[in-house]
Amino acid sequence: MVYSKAKRSQIGQYFESSEYARRVKLIWALMMATEDLTFLLADDMTQAFRAMFPDSSISKSFSLERTQTRDLTILEIASFIESSSTKTKKK
């Protein structure tokens, strides 16, 4: 499934504008996908990270549940496919 630009904008509201926060979420989401972990696990990870790292500003701002994990993963895969096809077309 490839999302339209309007849908991407709507999904973008899930995520903070900070590039660092987005990268942290992306790393976690793609790790879950590549390791074949259920995205249901994401529902509990926000609270688990806060409990494990109570003094961390990153864990305090981290919030990524199953729907966000799925959407972010799909967006990044779609972006990768689009950039790959653009590079192929240029050759």
Q: Domain extents for the chain? A: 22-86
User: Do the beta carbons of residue 75 and residue 40 sit within 8 Å?
Assistant: no
CA–CA gap between residue 84 and residue 89 (Å, rounded): 9
CA–CA gap between residue 31 and residue 25 (Å, rounded): 10
Q: What is the DSSP letter of 54?
A: T
CA–CA gap between residue 8 and residue 45 (Å, rounded): 24
Chain CA centroid to CA 12, Å: 10
User: Tens digit of pLDDT per residue, the chain (91 long)?
Assistant: 455 555 555 555 544 456 777 778 888 888 888 899 898 888 888 888 889 988 887 777 788 888 888 888 888 887 877 777 776 666 5
